[in-house]
C-alpha cells in the first residue's frame, strides 16, 4: 500500500522543496517506484515534467503530496505511462521540450513540437537546430466496418481556442476521438527561466487567461514557499476574494454556454449579463476585469477600496438573486434534460485513474478540492461538492452549486478583511517551492526553483486541463458527433494552459 510507496520515495535524497519535499531517486529506486505504483489505486500522478538534468513526478499518495525525481543519463528515463495512463502526454511533452526519452512509454509521437520551431528540444541543455519540413501528424488507427474519419480544426467555427480533433465515426456514433493540441505553444517555460520571480509572474498570469488569478496565486505560492515568505492575512484574503470572483464569472460563462450549446439561448443571455456584472465589479475593485497581474509573489498589488467593495457586493447580490430562477428554468425544460442527462458520461474509475480535479473530477465522484485538501489559507473549512452521475448534466449542476458557494465565500471574506501589508519584499536567495491553488477548472500546480540571485532556475506550470483532455476523449466514446460541442464545453479544458 501507500505506506510502502512512501518509504520507497523517502529513501531518496531530500532536495529541499517546500512545503512538499522533493526526493532525488536513483534509477533503481525510480524503477521500483513505477513498479509499486502499478499495483496502487491510491496514487495520483499530478504532473510529470523535467529540467535539462532530471525528470520530476508530482504524486499524491493518500493525503501526502511529494515530488520524486530521477536523473536522465543519456537523455533517458523509465516511463510512467505503462502504469499511469495520465503520464502519456507529459512524456510526449518532455521529449518535445527537453529531449528526454521515456523508455517503455506507450506513445512516442510528438505532442507540442509540430516540427515548426527553428530548433528541437528548446529547453534542453543544448537545443539542436531544426531545418526539416514539418512531418504529417499520425493518428491512432481504428478498424471496423464503415468507420470513417472526420478532421476538425485547428480553426473552429466559434470563438474558441485552436486544436485539432480527429473523430473516427461509425454512422453517427463516435468510435474514437483523438485531440491534437500544441498549436498555442508560446514557449512559456523558456520565457520564465532566468527572470526574477516578479517578472516571471507575468507569464504565470498568461498561461490560461481565464484562470489568471488562480495561476498567479499558485505561482506566487510556489515562490513564497521557496523563499520561506508568509504573505499577510490581508493579502491572502484579497487573493481568495479574487479567486472566488474568477470562479464565479467562469462558472457563469460555462453554465451559460452549456445551455447555449443545447440551443437554450435565453439562459445563456442571462448568464452572460450576470457575468458582465461580476467583471465590471472586478474592474471597479481591482482595476482589471479579469484581475490579471493583481497577484504577485509577496502579496497583491491593490487594496479593496470602499467603492470596490460596494461594487462587488452589488454584483454578488444580483447574481445571487437570479441564480435560483435560472436553475428553476434549467430544471423544468425537457429540451435541456434531453440533451444533458446521460450525455458524455465519464466513469468514476477513469477520473480516479487520471486524477482529474475540478468540476470534471467532482462530478464523477472524486471529492478533491485543493481548498479543502491539502488546503491553504485563508480557506478554513470547505467540503468539496460531489456528484456521481458524471454526465454533462452533473457538471452543469455542480457549477451552479459552486457558484452559490463562491458568493458566500466572497461575502465572508469581505465582511472580515484582516489587516496587514499588501505586499512583502522578496528576499534574494535560492529555494524551491510548489504551489497548489484551486482554480475554476481544478487545481493549478506551479513548481518553481530559484537560484542564488532569486532568478528562476527551473519552473513548471501545470494547468488542471492536462488531466482533463484524455477524459474528454473517453467521454465522447459512443456519443453522437453532434453532441461534441456540448460535451467539450462541459469539460472546458484549457488549450493554452496545456500548450505551454
Partner 1 sequence: MRGWRRLLWPRLAQGLVSPPLTDAPPVPPEELVQALVARLEAASQARLGRSLAIRQVDAGSCNGCELEINAMQSVIYDLERFGLRFVASPRHADVLLVTGPLTRNMREALLHTAECMPEPKWVVAAGDCAVDGGVFKDSYAVEGGIDAVLPVDLLIPGCPPTPTQLLEGMLALLEAQRVG
Which residues contribute to the site for partner 1 (CB under 8 A)?
Answer: 114, 116-119, 122, 154-155, 157-162, 182-187, 190-191, 202-203, 206-210, 212, 253, 266, 269, 272-273, 275-276, 279, 289-290, 292, 325, 328-329, 331-333, 494-496
Between 4 and 155, name the residue whose CB sits nearer to partner 1: 155
Contact by Cβ (8 Å): 188, 461: yes
Burial group, residue 122, by CB count within 10 angstroms (0-12, 13-18, 19+): buried
161 binds, among ligand SF4, partner 1, none (CB under 5 to 8 A by kind): partner 1
- How far apart are alpha carbons 76 and 99 in whole angstroms? 9
**Helix (H) / strand (E) containing 170:** strand 164-170
Find the shortest distance in angstroms from Cβ 279 to ligand SF4. 13
CA gap 208, 260 in Å, rounded: 23
Q: Which does 190 bind (CB under 5 to 8 A by kind): partner 1, ligand SF4, none?
A: partner 1
Q: Which is nearer to ligand SF4, 206 or 280 (CB)?
A: 206
Q: Is 122 helix (H, G, I), strand (E, B) or coil?
A: coil
Instruction: Please tell me the distance from the alpha carbon of residue 102 to that of residue 207, in angstroms, as a whole number.
Output: 26
Beta carbon nearer to ligand SF4, 156 or 206: 206
Q: Which of 245, 247, 254, 240 is nearest to 283 (CA)?
A: 245
CB nearer partner 1, residue 27 or residue 289: 289
CB closer to ligand SF4, 394 vs 459: 459
Site for ligand SF4 in 181-240 (CB under 6 A): 206, 209
Nearer to ligand SF4, 288 or 352 (CB): 288
Q: How far is the CB of 374 from partner 1 (least distance, A)?
A: 27
- CA-based nearest residue to 298, from 241, 224, 203: 224
Least gap, CB of 114 to partner 1 (angstroms): 5
**CB-wise, 28 or 209, nearer to ligand SF4?**
209
| Of 475, 273, 471, residue with least CA distance to 393 | 475
Residue with cell 482595476: 287
202 touches, from partner 1, ligand SF4, none (C-beta below 5 to 8 Å by class): partner 1
Q: Least separation, in Å, of the C-beta of 473 and ligand SF4?
A: 26
- How far, CA to CA in Å, does 115 sit from each of 100, 130, 131? 17, 8, 9
Q: Are 197 and 229 within 8 A, CB to CB? A: no
- Our CB check for partner 1 shows the closer of 31 and 191 to be 191
CA angle 235, 238, 239 (to 5 degrees): 85
Q: Of the two residues 195 and 411, which places its CB atom closer to ligand SF4 in the complex?
A: 195
For the chain, helix (H) and strand (E) counts, in that order, are 16, 18
**Residue 114 binding result from partner 1, ligand SF4, none, given CB thresholds of 5 to 8 Å by partner type:** partner 1
Contact assessment for residue 358 and residue 441, using Cβ atoms and an 8 Å cutoff: yes
Residue 125: CB minimum distance to partner 1, A: 15
Q: Give me the residue whose beta carbon is nearest to ligand SF4.
A: 206
Name residue 299's beta-bridge partners.
296, 423
Instruction: For the CB of residue 290, give the shortest distance to ligand SF4 in the complex, in Å.
Output: 8
CB of 218 to ligand SF4, least distance (A): 18
What is the three-class DSSP state of 269?
helix
In Å, what is the CA distance from 195 to each residue of 213, 217, 309?
20, 18, 34
**Biggest CA pair distance of the chain:** 68
* Min dist. Cβ of residue 209 to ligand SF4 (A): 5
Residues in 65-94 at the binding interface with ligand SF4, rule: CB under 6 A: none
Q: Which does 323 bind (CB under 5 to 8 A by kind): partner 1, ligand SF4, none?
A: none
- Note the residues at the interface with ligand SF4 (CB under 6 A): 206, 209
Amino acid at each position: 500500500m501507500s505506506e510502502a510507496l512512501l518509504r520507497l520515495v523517502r529513501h531518496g535524497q531530500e532536495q529541499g522543496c517546500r512545503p512538499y519535499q522533493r526526493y532525488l531517486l536513483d534509477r533503481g529506486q525510480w524503477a521500483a517506484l513505477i513498479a509499486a505504483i502499478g499495483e496502487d489505486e491510491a496514487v495520483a500522478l499530478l504532473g510529470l515534467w523535467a529540467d535539462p538534468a532530471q525528470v520530476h513526478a508530482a504524486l499524491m499518495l493518500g493525503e501526502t503530496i511529494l515530488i520524486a525525481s530521477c536523473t536522465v543519463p543519456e537523455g533517458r528515463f523509465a516511463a510512467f505511462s505503462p502504469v499511469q495512463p495520465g503520464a502519456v502526454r507529459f512524456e510526449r511533452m518532455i521529449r518535445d521540450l527537453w529531449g528526454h526519452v521515456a523508455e517503455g512509454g506507450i506513445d512516442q509521437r510528438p505532442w507540442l513540437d509540430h516540427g515548426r520551431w527553428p530548433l528541437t528540444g528548446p529547453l534542453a541543455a543544448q537545443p539542436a537546430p531544426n531545418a526539416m519540413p514539418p512531418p504529417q501528424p499520425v493518428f491512432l488507427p481504428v478498424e471496423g466496418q464503415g468507420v470513417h474519419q472526420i478532421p476538425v480544426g485547428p480553426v473552429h467555427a466559434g470563438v474558441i481556442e485552436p486544436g485539432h480533433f480527429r473523430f473516427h465515426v461509425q454512422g453517427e456514433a463516435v468510435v474514437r476521438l483523438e485531440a491534437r493540441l500544441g498549436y498555442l505553444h508560446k514557449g512559456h517555460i523558456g520565457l520564465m527561466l532566468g527572470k526574477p520571480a516578479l517578472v516571471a509572474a507575468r507569464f504565470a498570469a498568461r498561461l490560461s487567461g481565464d484562470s489568471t488569478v488562480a495561476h498567479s496565486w499558485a505561482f506566487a505560492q510556489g515562490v513564497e514557499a521557496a523563499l520561506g515568505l508568509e504573505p499577510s492575512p490581508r493579502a491572502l484574503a484579497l487573493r481568495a476574494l479574487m479567486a472566488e470572483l474568477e470562479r464565479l464569472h467562469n462558472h457563469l460563462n460555462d453554465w451559460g454556454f452549456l445551455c447555449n450549446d443545447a440551443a437554450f439561448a435565453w439562459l445563456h443571455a442571462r448568464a452572460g449579463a450576470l457575468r458582465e456584472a461580476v467583471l465590471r465589479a472586478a474592474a471597479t475593485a481591482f482595476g482589471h476585469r479579469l484581475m490579471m497581474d493583481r497577484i504577485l509573489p509577496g502579496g497583491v498589488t491593490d487594496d479593496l477600496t470602499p467603492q470596490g467593495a460596494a461594487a462587488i457586493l452589488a454584483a454578488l447580490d444580483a447574481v445571487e438573486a437570479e441564480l435560483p430562477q435560472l436553475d428553476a428554468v434549467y430544471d423544468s425544460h425537457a429540451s435541456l434534460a434531453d440533451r444533458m442527462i446521460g450525455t458524455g458520461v465519464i466513469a468514476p474509475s477513469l477520473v480516479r485513474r487520471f486524477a482529474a480535479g475540478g468540476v470534471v473530477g467532482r462530478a464523477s465522484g472524486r471529492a478533491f478540492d485543493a481548498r479543502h485538501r491539502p488546503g491553504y489559507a485563508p480557506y478554513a473549512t470547505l467540503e468539496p461538492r460531489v456528484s456521481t452521475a458524471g454526465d454533462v448534466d452533473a457538471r452543469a449542476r455542480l457549477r451552479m452549486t459552486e457558484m452559490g458557494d463562491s458568493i458566500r465565500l466572497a461575502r465572508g471574506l469581505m465582511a472580515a478583511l484582516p489587516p496587514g501589508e499588501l505586499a512583502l519584499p522578496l528576499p534574494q536567495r535560492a529555494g524551491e517551492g510548489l504551489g497548489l491553488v484551486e482554480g475554476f477548472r481544478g487545481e493549478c500546480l506551479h513548481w518553481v526553483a530559484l537560484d542564488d540571485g532569486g532568478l528562476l532556475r527551473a519552473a513548471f506550470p501545470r494547468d488542471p486541463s492536462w488531466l482533463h483532455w484524455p477524459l474528454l476523449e473517453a467521454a465522447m466514446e459512443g456519443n453522437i458527433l453532434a453532441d461534441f460541442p456540448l460535451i467539450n464545453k462541459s469539460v472546458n479544458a484549457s488549450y493554452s494552459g496545456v500548450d505551454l
